[in-house]
Amino acid sequence: MDDLFRDVRAHGSLFGSSTLSPPFSLRFVDGPPLTLCTALSGGGWIVPEHGEPEPLNAYDTVVVRGPGTFSFVDEVGTAAEPVDCGEFCAVPELGGTRYRRGWRAEGAGPTTLIVGAYPIGSEVGRPLLDALPVVLRVAGGGTGDAVLDHLAAEVSVDAPGQQVVLDRLLDWMLVCTLRAWFDRPGGEPPSWWTARRDPVAGPALRLLHEEPAAPWTVALLAEKAGVARSTLAKRFAELVGEPPLTYLTRRRMALAADLLLERPAATVAEVARQVGYADAFGFSAAFKRVRGVTPSEHRRPAPPERTATQVLSDCQQAGMV
């Protein structure tokens, strides 16, 4: 869980605060991987591009998974003209100010909306996104209420370091929301969420995440977990859905995929050693087997998409049209 959330941080993300009077319709058009919406007062509806509307009342929290867009409206079918909000928002009378990292619209309306957009580009964080529905909602009244109290107090002032405080409060709110969602009665949490609490699979999972480059074997994991090798292999596969070493290979390749992009000066051999491979050739073969491309191909930027006009021009030059 800690590993998955390590990349899900509000540092550099879009933060927005708006006080609204009905009728209103804010349309969030950037479609980031994750967007957290919470109402400090009043309420409205979150209307996703694809999916059913969800109510957002005071101290409720809704998380929207991108890349689809969504709107926040006073009521479904509102007559209000939509105002586009995104990385660069509109002038104050339309919902914000032109700042890269945040916008604030103050007014006398009954609804105060807080929005945090999370740009998740990491392969390590991908299992978290894959485990979430397009829209999830957690009602107020839980552990997140205390966070919202702090958030409300911070939004109401303009003090040095405010953006850093708001970022960390949003991170805290996101973690509280997702924990409540995964632990809700009748929920269907992902396998890694369930397995982490298991007395057999849980210790092995923690070891694989804490030391992914270590020379693990099933026997060594079982010894560390204090169980028989066969017991660990069976329990891990039942809960996680794959054998321990298969899980380890996928995790290593996810880490390597991030390292290859984050450290362009590092050689493939250096990345291989960081994720537990002494042999660059063996690492490259494993990377292609798991991810479908070689490490060098993964690093190479994709060619830009060609427009219809460019394709037509090429065809004309080649005498095809």
Of 1.10.10.60, 1.50.10.10, 2.102.10.10, 3.90.550.10, the CATH number of 195-299 is: 1.10.10.60
Confidence (pLDDT) at 109: 64
Say if residues 101 and 11 touch (Cβ distance below 8 Å): no
Confidence (pLDDT) at 103: 42
Number of H helices, E strands in the chain: 13, 11
Query: Which one-letter amino acid corresponds to residue 221?
Result: L
**Sequence-ordered strand ranges (E) for 98-224:** 102-105, 111-118, 135-138
Dihedral over alpha carbons 251, 253, 259, 261 (to 10 degrees):
-130
| Other beta carbons less than 10 A from residue 83's beta carbon | 18
For the chain, domain boundaries: 2-182, 195-299
- Domain covering 2-182 in this structure, CATH number: 2.60.120.280
Q: Give me the half-sphere count of Cα atoms (radius 13 Å) on the Cβ side of residue 297.
A: 8
Confidence (pLDDT) at 85: 76
Q: What single string gives the DSSP state of each residue in 31-81?
A: --SEEEEEEEESEEEEEESSS--EEEEBT-EEEEESSS-EEEESSTT--SP
Say if residues 42 and 109 touch (Cβ distance below 8 Å): yes
Q: Averaged in consecutive runs of 10 residues, what is the pLDDT profile of the chain (321 residues)?
A: 60 62 85 84 91 92 89 92 67 36 52 79 74 90 86 77 78 87 87 89 92 95 95 95 94 93 92 95 95 92 50 52 47
